[in-house]
Structure 1
Amino acid sequence: METVQPSADRTARIRARYAKLVAVTMFLTFDLIMFGAFVRLTDSGLGCPDWPGCYGKASPIGALHDIHAAAAAMPEGPVTLSKAWIEMVHRYAGTLLGILIIAIVVMAWRHRKALAQSPWLATVILPAVCLQGAFGAWTVTHLLMPAVVTAHLLGGISLLALLTWLSARQTVLPDIPGEAGRWWGYAAFGLALLYTQLALGGWVSTNYAALACMDFPTCHGQWVPEMDFHGGYSILRALGELPSGEIISQSALTAIHWTHRNFAFVVLVYLGWLALKLRRYDGLRGPSHALLAMLGVQLLTGLTSIFLQWPIVIAVLHNGGAAVLTVLCVTLLVRLSRVRRAPDYRARAF
């Protein structure tokens, strides 16, 4: 693709438009993660039991007869008009996200000279969103299989992380002391811990195990209650079942909840310690303080979910908090990696 060296003014306009496009796409991805949690928590994942349409129609309006028939046949079932709309709005927003990411990729290649950066990071995001769409379809066709739904959640978080990385490349690097680069490995490990906790939290949500322990800090009045880890963490199984086809036991749900709850304190302590260490550096102070604040908010929403028996608003906020933590950890990691790549990094650090 032939490109023409743009003027300084045109270069500035292209960079500004590209930065805004990435920021809007990143915001929509965050909204989709929040709305996806709402879809799960309202049991709307099968509101339209086919894909990509709703009973073969583009919207629930055209599928009213089928929706009413399904609701009449199973009044307590997964299909109602409201659930169908919730599910389809989520799909419409996902389609819009895909269109925006295509626009990002086209712009990244067409204006790569003006943007003065490789277009490959933007390009990687395109197959990532396509895979995310596939997991969205499999979520329906596999009848909310926990492994598929959890993968769909982690895919959304991964998209947000990639867009955060891309967005960070559009900003001017704050003046960060070279010695801060030595914390890159610690930040990478912190992000890995966070992803592990996100996977554990997704497993709690997709197995509806949030209320498996109704007391705190103990669980069923015990520090280590009776638990079935083998059943709880059997990956290839249907929703609410064990691999044998039996109904999942309370002890298996307890294992899922207990693991997520206790690993949360590992993540809380580690990321809290890391934020305290990084906040002393200029250029890292803002995201470090935000990370400390969000850790407190996430702890509060997690405990409130238990004490108030998992209200939808609090549960959605808890999912949103996890997404914000991801954005902050990726932001810190990107800033530290850019310091490490600076030509005079070793001279400044040592």
Structure 2
Amino acid sequence: MINISYEKYKKFLPVVIATVFSLIFVGSVVRTTGSGMGCPDWPKCFGQFIPPTHIDQLPADYKSLYKVAGREIADFSAFKTWIEYTNRLFGVWTGIATLILAFLGLKIRKSHSLINKLSISALLLVIFNGWLGSKVVSTHLMPGIITAHMILAMLLVFCLLKIKYLVVNIEPVIVDNIKKYKNVSLILLVMVFVQIILGTQVREQIDHITNHNHDLPRANWVENLDMVFYVHRSFSIAIVLGLFYFLKNIIKEVKGSVELKKIATKLVLVMFGEVAAGAILVYFKFPAPMQSLHLIFSILMIAYLFEITMILFKSKSREVAL
């Protein structure tokens, strides 16, 4: 007998996953265009539910009226205001989508308890991260909060991908010494997680530098960064070498899973895209589009690696399979 509620859940899950990745992309555009303070108040924007499109729609003393953390805001920019407002709209839809998913999860809680719990966890992560997003605004991009914002976003991605692999049938993987692959995938997952946190801290430093020196050319950003940037850059070499060796062996040796090889191939492509974006940022004066791509590639990297790890942990060694 077909479980109608379960089928509805399965159909709606991809919508939620796509929504979350879209929100991360829009968030990256907010960061790279410097639009984080485009709306100085929250949940409204300049005291309005639909933000202004021209400075004439604001009071003459708007800079002091909407000051944040005791500091006057920058000159009004309709472009930045509407980018941040779009980000908030995506955030609202993400909240609604995860709420619907949690409701659908409740309807199948008796037959799929873990899926129900993970759905509720996803909703709580979205709510808490939404609140944290408001603190990013009210504290004027305070260091630490942005990093926490990114960590929660990654945990949300993990949560949704775990649900995906609970509702989707995974092809079994047959490979010699599966334990080795499991351990290596976990180590690499932790390394990429740490690397993204380091990258977020570099981004926080750039925010701090540009907030205190608006006229500083992008070409001079790197020389004002501290050791975190150099650790982030050097650590990327270890990650690339480790991932390349791991994925080369996955593609070559694993038998029985076309899906795993597809994901591994995607991860290779994303990895090289991430390295290229990072190099362009450093050597070509931090072009804004590359900042967005660098963030998106990093999230895709850890998402694909997490998927590979889940598949490996559901698999067996060739000797056991025989």
**What is the CA distance between 1:298 and its match in structure 2?**
1.0
**What is the CA distance between 1:118 and its match in structure 2?**
4.0
Task: Tell me which residue corresponds to 1:260.
Answer: 232
1:156 aligned to 2:128?
Answer: no
**1:68 touches 1:81 (CA, 8 Å); kept in 2?**
no
1:84 aligned to 2:81?
Answer: yes
Task: Tell me which residue corresponds to 1:233.
Answer: none
Task: Tell me which residue corresponds to 1:334.
Answer: 310
**Alignment equivalent of 1:325, drawn from 280, 286, 301:** 301
**Alignment equivalent of 1:49, drawn from 19, 40, 54:** 40
Task: Tell me which residue corresponds to 2:217.
Answer: none
C-alpha offsets along residues 24-69 of structure 1, whole Å, 9 cap, x if unaligned?
A: 1111111111111111111111111111111332120499633775
Task: Tell me which residue corresponds to 1:197.
Answer: 195
**What is the CA distance between 1:14 and its match in structure 2?**
3.8
**Alignment equivalent of 2:283, drawn from 282, 307, 312:** 307
**What is the CA distance between 1:308 and its match in structure 2?**
2.5
**What is the CA distance between 1:293 and its match in structure 2?**
1.6
- Give me the whole-angstrom Cα distance separating, in 1, the residues matched to 2:239 and 2:94: 30
- Give me the whole-angstrom Cα distance separating, in 1, the residues matched to 2:240 and 2:158: 19
- Give me the whole-angstrom Cα distance separating, in 1, the residues matched to 2:29 and 2:234: 25
- Give me the whole-angstrom Cα distance separating, in 2, the residues matched to 1:272 and 1:258: 22
Matches within 5 A, 1:234-273: 253-273=225-245
Matches within 5 A, 1:163-178: 163-177=160-174
Q: Residues 47, 78 of structure 1: CA spacing in aligned structure 2 closer, same or farther, 3 A cutoff? A: farther
% of aligned pairs identical? 21
Matches within 5 A, 1:1-350: 7-8=1-2, 11=3, 13-61=4-52, 65-66=57-58, 70=62, 77=74, 79-113=76-110, 118-177=115-174, 179=176, 181-182=178-179, 183-208=181-206, 253-279=225-251, 280-281=253-254, 282-283=256-257, 284-339=260-315, 348=320
Q: Secondary structure at the match of 2:167?
A: coil
**2:27 touches 2:87 (CA, 8 Å); kept in 1?**
yes
**What is the CA distance between 1:15 and its match in structure 2?**
3.7
Q: Residues 39, 91 of structure 1: CA spacing in aligned structure 2 closer, same or farther, 3 A cutoff? A: same
**What is the CA distance between 1:330 and its match in structure 2?**
1.0
RMSD (Å) for aligned C-alpha atoms: 3.2
- Give me the whole-angstrom Cα distance separating, in 2, the residues matched to 1:147 and 1:179: 43
**What is the CA distance between 1:268 and its match in structure 2?**
1.0
**1:33 touches 1:157 (CA, 8 Å); kept in 2?**
no
Where in structure 2 are there 5+ consecutive unaligned residues?
Answer: 214-220
**What is the CA distance between 1:97 and its match in structure 2?**
0.5
Amino acid at match of 1:170: V
Q: Secondary structure at the match of 1:146?
A: coil
Amino acid at match of 2:291: A
**What is the CA distance between 1:277 and its match in structure 2?**
2.3
**2:35 touches 2:84 (CA, 8 Å); kept in 1?**
yes
Q: Residues 118, 306 of structure 1: CA spacing in aligned structure 2 closer, same or farther, 3 A cutoff? A: closer
**What is the CA distance between 1:329 and its match in structure 2?**
0.9
**What is the CA distance between 1:147 and its match in structure 2?**
1.1
Task: Tell me which residue corresponds to 1:224.
Answer: none
**What is the CA distance between 1:201 and its match in structure 2?**
0.8
**2:132 touches 2:149 (CA, 8 Å); kept in 1?**
yes
- Give me the whole-angstrom Cα distance separating, in 2, the residues matched to 1:68 and 1:177: 69
Amino acid at match of 2:244: G
TM-score normalised over the length of structure 2: 0.83
Amino acid at match of 1:151: A
Task: Tell me which residue corresponds to 2:218.
Answer: none
Q: Which moved more, 1:91-100 or 1:112-121?
A: 112-121
C-alpha offsets along residues 221-267 of structure 1, whole Å, 9 cap, x if unaligned?
A: xxxxxxxxxxxxxxxxx9659xxxxxxx9766142321211111111
Q: Residues 240, 255 of structure 1: CA spacing in aligned structure 2 closer, same or farther, 3 A cutoff? A: farther
**What is the CA distance between 1:153 and its match in structure 2?**
2.0
- Give me the whole-angstrom Cα distance separating, in 2, the residues matched to 1:14 and 1:203: 42
TM-score normalised over the length of structure 1: 0.77
Where in structure 1 are there 5+ consecutive unaligned residues?
Answer: 1-6, 213-237, 242-248
Q: Residues 198, 240 of structure 1: CA spacing in aligned structure 2 closer, same or farther, 3 A cutoff? A: farther
- Give me the whole-angstrom Cα distance separating, in 1, the residues matched to 2:62 and 2:50: 16
